[in-house]
Amino acid sequence: MTGWLATLLIFLPVAGALVVWLVPMPRGAAGSFALLVALVEVGFWINALIRFDFERQGATPNFDQQHTWFSDLNVSYHVGFYAFSFWLAGLTVIVAAASIAYAFWAGRERPRAYFGLMLFLTGATVGVFASQDMLLFYAFFEAMLIPLYVLIGVWGGPGRMGATIKFVIYTMAGSLLMLAAVIAYGLSQDTFDLIDASQSSSGWIFLGFAVAFAVKAPIFPLHGWLPDAYRESPPEVAAMLSGVVSKAAVYGFFRICLAKFPEPFDDYRTLILTLASVGLVYGSVLAFRAQDLRGVIAYSSLAQMALITIGLFAENLAGLSGAVLQAVNHGLVSATLFLLAGAIERRAATGDLDRLGGLARGRPALATVLIATGVIALAVPGSSAFAGEFLILAGIFPWGWGWAVVGALAIVLAAMYMLRVISAVLHDRRATTADESVLDLRPAELAIVVPLLALLLALSAWPAAISDHMVENSGDIPALVELNE
Amino acid sequence: MITAAWICLLSPLAAALLITLGGTAWSRRATGYLATLSTAVSFGAAAVAFFALVGRDQEHRAELTTSWTWLAAGDFDVGLTLLVDPLSILMMLIVSGVGSLIVGYSIGYMDGEDEERRFFAYMAFFVFSMLLLVQGGNFLLLLVGWGLVGLSSYLLIGYHHERPSAVAAAKKAFIMNAFGDATMALAFFLLIQRTGSLEFAAGVEWAGGEDGSWAVNLVALGLLGGAVAKSAQLPLHTWLPDAMEGPTPVSALIHAATMVTAGVYLLVRFGPLFEHAPRVQDLAAGLGAITLLVAGLIALVQVDIKRVIAYSTMSQIGYMFLAAGIGAYANAMFHLMTHAFFKALLFLAAGIVIHALAGEQDMRKMGGLRGLLPRTWAAFLIGAAALSGIPPLSGFFSKDAILASGLAGGTYGQLLFVAGLVGAFLTGLYTFRMVFMVFGGEPSAYAQEHLHKPDRTEPWIWMALSVGALAVLAVIGGWIQIPGVWHPFADFLEPAVEPLFEPTGTQDAIASVLAVSVGILGIWLAWWLYSARKEPVPRARALQTLLERKFYFDETYEWVFYRPATWIARASRALIERPLIAGTLTGIAFSARRAGGEVAETQTGLVRTYAFVIATAVATLALVFVWVR
């Protein structure tokens, strides 16, 4: 059964989606069925975690499964998890369960279509993290994007049209480049299998992949789709988008750019580190002046993804472990913040920071949860986010102190924008949107966000759970360097 | 002993969690008792650990224990490591001892506030964080404690979260301290690169091997950055006076007795490392000397009773930095301890005054309280005299020891000694200016109108008990070490930190006589200006303005850091984000929306674009195939 776990994790939600779409069921049942599937999925992931062999040496992933698809091109259905991708898959199923639960609680129009899409998105994203064949990877990558177009375009806010079109154009352009790169690479290697394909030194193919992932992450200046998409989506879709889908870029950089293109990876390091550093400061500065709740979270995501990219391009144990740890942290933090933003917007009918304020008085649960998530987001020492950022910056330090100085500066900026948003929502004078009728977080909302927060706190107590459980079984990444000289 | 250290650390954390999770299941009063009990348990455990430690011989008085690997990547790993040695035990005793007195006092002080539970949860969390800071057995864990005390300080300064000034002060404190955290983190990255480890011992050993190299200097400088920010020394001091927005027990515990002295602890703990970066150590001493003068001068013109005490705290920590910077580690720690006693006493007594005057903190409205609050007056007077270094109170012994060390410390030390003497004069002057303004003369109109004497109910008793206990400590706290005669305190610390030199008996005597004389001179001047003479105090307007504007530090930072950051943010949005990035494709998006607007919902625009993109995709693909083949 172990061999089937990866496949099961991919196709259980997809099957759930088909059931929701095809089997007639009452409106209310779609949500509860989807939630059930999402929770079962989490259960399977935990089961897989127990069976996972983190010490496995060599190139074979866990739960490896391969079936030939087009034999003449050496394309196969090949899935499996390395340790780092397994953590990203875990992030996916957990955030998906929380998002689906939130949507179920908040209620969405046309629930069967909606919940089907959410489940499909979950399965496709897990597929991205599990693929060991490039065409399969591409297929899942596209399958992940299509539900998002519809979710934003149909269930989004008033500006959803513009947001969707920008998102489509950006990601389509990225996907095209990636497809071209996949085909060029696959044909030149005579196989599309990611494990069999040998390393390449082609800068052009590397760039095709890198740009596609840079759009997905996004990395400055390719983030034009980000502010609108994060603002106009339903909050739980924004949670999936920033928390989980953006991590496909982390996976891609790690699994393809780093593992398969070590030479170009080295050649373009300075360029990408420069863009990421600029994006880190730029995103933080814009988050500091953003006028609405979601704007702050959106631009802080831009900054965080830049930081994760810096860790990946440090290409040493600390940088890579830190990047994966931080990817999981950021996924959980960003999802929690978007769901909380949704909860606040439902109550105040606005996300405008000037019109919010004073929500802390009489609403201890909201205040506690928001402050706790906020201080983890700003990487207060002792939090899991601090652990991740510390490893990333310690990893980049040997490449040049300047990168680490910029990173440290960005941490101060993060304190500035997160404290600003906490105060603007919870503190200061009481805004008109915070009158007596505005309720504290309801038990259902707490049941959704508190588990996410609890995971963050657990990771804060033991960040080595991830950072120390990903290096051995990480595929054919080049020999990694230790930190000290 | 290790078990005791763990109990000491975790008991306040448990209280904080219980209060947070219990919510309204706790009565408000009960949370106060729970928090006090948990800190008292900490103190008991620290005392047990202390006696266990004293029972050992000198060489075996340091114990490291790692419970689990906190963070790891390959060969680099950092454990959750506690260190119990004389220095950390001393800090544990001060933090939990003074902590439990102040948390107990808060039962009375916070009585009737409607968010008492939150207050006590934060207080307990602070004590936990501070204990983690002093018990942390490697650099990373130290930084974790360092950051968490900053967090609890933020939460407690902003406790009155509906007051914009309190929220702003809380943010300012956190962000200035984040700068310090950042410089420390950078120092640690350099350490990791050089040693591959964050163990204290590895760092100190490495510094010994590269004595005076630029890398050692940079690491020391990074550590000093953290120390300066946390201890509110120049130039990162401007957050501390604003932090007085927090409730008075918070000011007493965090912004006087414990957290702000963490920088001194850091300098003493890593004295062996700083010794290999002598210029940085000199810099620390120099910053301390400048701070003690600048803060003493600013304190002369403050009218808010808590701000006077806050500037005095900065000034006294300046003395500790001075001592740690010239290598008189035990004397720095000694002053840290006595200062915790008498400064907490001053704050708590001031808290009673503020309570009695319905929350008023402006000293110009006070006056004549000596007859109205006689016991508070007595307690305040003890604290003020100890602060001014009047024998035989605790401050006399500890401050004189520092000055004597300065006298023994070569030319630079003697320069610092002079600064310290001027500081002692200023201390006497501003402290007794405050005493005479608040307690001297006839009762002011405001005091007569608003004074309500404390009702002797149960919560009040807790306030009285705490103030009484601290008054006793402020008197006798210095007696455990008499310069040149009796020094069990320094002997106890010696396994952890060895002083660089010892002053001679003559130097001790000279320092004592001079320091007491200038202190009394300052008190006399205060008496003459603010009590004996019945005329307005003469003032020089330019100097007055300079001091009232606090040497324009806030304004400078506003113009050098905050405003440029805001400009950059605005410019980024107006010049880059809107036109170049978010603006791209907006035209396309809008035209598609118009096209789709006539037909029902969203589908048309989407499908059309999608079809267009797919067509382009196929075309490009075809090209790629041709190109690759």
For strands B63-73 and A75-81, give the pairing: unpaired
C-alpha span between B408 and A335 (Å, rounded) = 60
Q: Give yes or no for residue A65 having a pLDDT over 80.
A: yes
Cα nearest neighbour of B608 on chain A: A165
- Residue written as tokens 């340790």? A83
Residues 18-47 of B with CB under 8 A from A: 20, 23
In a domain, A430, yes or no: yes
Q: Which of A148, A176, A403 to mutate to test the interface with B (most CBs of B within 10 A)?
A: A176
CA distance A299 to chain B (A): 11
- Do B167 and A423 make contact, defined as CB atoms within 8 angstroms? yes
| CB contact set of A189 (below 8 Å; sequence gap of 6+) | A196, A197, A198, A200
- Do B624 and A317 make contact, defined as CB atoms within 8 angstroms? no
| CB contact set of B498 (below 8 Å; sequence gap of 6+) | B329
For B146, the 3-state DSSP assignment is helix
B146 CB within 8 Å of a chain A CB: yes
- Do A164 and B602 make contact, defined as CB atoms within 8 angstroms? yes
- Residue A31 carries which side chain, given as an amino acid letter? G
- Do B73 and A390 make contact, defined as CB atoms within 8 angstroms? no
In a domain, A460, yes or no: yes
For B71, the 3-state DSSP assignment is strand
Which structural domain, as residue segments, surrounds residue A294?
268-485
- Do A412 and B179 make contact, defined as CB atoms within 8 angstroms? yes
B575 CB within 8 Å of a chain A CB: no
CA distance B192 to chain A (A): 6
C-alpha span between B228 and B177 (Å, rounded) = 9
* pLDDT class of A483 with cuts at 50, 70, 90: very low
Position with higher pLDDT, A427 vs B616: A427
In a domain, A125, yes or no: no
Number of domains in chain A: 1
CA distance B60 to chain A (A): 30
- Do A221 and B581 make contact, defined as CB atoms within 8 angstroms? yes
- Closest partner residue to B73 (CB to CB) among A184, A371, A468 is A468
A463 CB within 8 Å of a chain B CB: yes
B196 CB within 8 Å of a chain A CB: yes
Q: Mapped to the 3 state alphabet, what secondary structure does chain A carry?
A: CHHHHHHHHHHHHHHHHHHHHHCCCCHHHHHHHHHHHHHHHHHHHHHHHHHCCCCCCCCCCEEEEEEEEEHHHCEEEEEEECHHHHHHHHHHHHHHHHHHHHHHHHCCCCHHHHHHHHHHHHHHHHHHHHECEHHHHHHHHHHHHHHHHHHHHHHCCCCHHHHHHHHHHHHHHHHHHHHHHHHHHHHHHCCCECCCCCCCCCHHHHHHHHHHHHHHCCCCCCCCCHHHHHHHCCHHHHHHHHHHHCHHHHHHHHHHHHHHCHHHHHHCHHHHHHHHHHHHHHHHHHHHHCCEHHHHHHHHHHHHHHHHHHHHHHCEHHHHHHHHHHHHHHHHHHHHHHHHHHHHHHHHCCCEHHHCCCCCCCCHHHHHHHHHHHHHHCCCCCCHHHHHHHHHHHHHHHHCHHHHHHHHHHHHHHHHHHHHHHHHHHCCCCCHHHCCCCCCCCHHHHHHHHHHHHHHHHHHHCCHHHHCCCCCCCCCCCCCECCCC
* pLDDT class of A289 with cuts at 50, 70, 90: confident
C-alpha span between B61 and B67 (Å, rounded) = 20
In a domain, A418, yes or no: yes
- Do A464 and B621 make contact, defined as CB atoms within 8 angstroms? no
In a domain, A353, yes or no: yes
Residues 276-305 of A with CB under 8 A from B: 282, 285-286, 288-289
In a domain, A284, yes or no: yes
B580 CB within 8 Å of a chain A CB: yes
- Do B154 and A408 make contact, defined as CB atoms within 8 angstroms? no
C-alpha span between A269 and A151 (Å, rounded) = 35
C-alpha span between B514 and A246 (Å, rounded) = 68
pLDDT in tens, A158-190: 888 888 888 888 888 888 889 999 988 888 888
C-alpha span between A381 and B133 (Å, rounded) = 11
**What ipTM is given for this predicted complex?**
0.89
- Do A168 and B569 make contact, defined as CB atoms within 8 angstroms? no
C-alpha span between B208 and A481 (Å, rounded) = 27
Q: Which of A54, A182, A380, A485 to mutate to test the interface with B (most CBs of B within 10 A)?
A: A380
* φ, ψ for residue B403, nearest 5 deg: -65, -40
C-alpha span between A130 and A124 (Å, rounded) = 10
C-alpha span between A323 and A258 (Å, rounded) = 13
Question: Do B612 and A171 meet the contact criterion of CB atoms below 8 Å apart?
Answer: no
- Residue written as tokens 């831009």? A302
Q: Which of B19, B602, B626 to mutate to test the interface with A (most CBs of A within 10 A)?
A: B602
For B231, the 3-state DSSP assignment is coil
Q: Average model confidence (pLDDT) for chain A? A: 87
Residues 149-188 of B with CB under 8 A from A: 150-151, 154-155, 158, 161-162, 164, 167, 170-171, 174-175, 178-179, 181-183, 185-186, 188
- Do B76 and A317 make contact, defined as CB atoms within 8 angstroms? yes
Query: In terms of Cα–Cα distance, which of B100, B92, B106 is closest to B135?
Result: B92
- Residue B612 carries which side chain, given as an amino acid letter? F
- Do B148 and A380 make contact, defined as CB atoms within 8 angstroms? yes
CA distance B586 to chain A (A): 7
CA distance B560 to chain A (A): 15
C-alpha span between B126 and B157 (Å, rounded) = 12
For strands B76-84 and B63-73, give the pairing: antiparallel
In a domain, A36, yes or no: no
CA distance A181 to chain B (A): 9
C-alpha span between A185 and B363 (Å, rounded) = 78
Q: What is the mean pLDDT of each run of 10 residues along chain B (629 residues)?
A: 87 91 83 91 91 81 82 82 88 92 88 83 93 90 92 90 87 89 91 85 85 87 92 88 88 86 91 88 91 90 89 92 88 90 91 83 80 84 89 85 83 87 90 87 77 68 86 86 74 76 79 85 85 72 79 82 83 77 61 47 50 64 55
In a domain, A115, yes or no: no
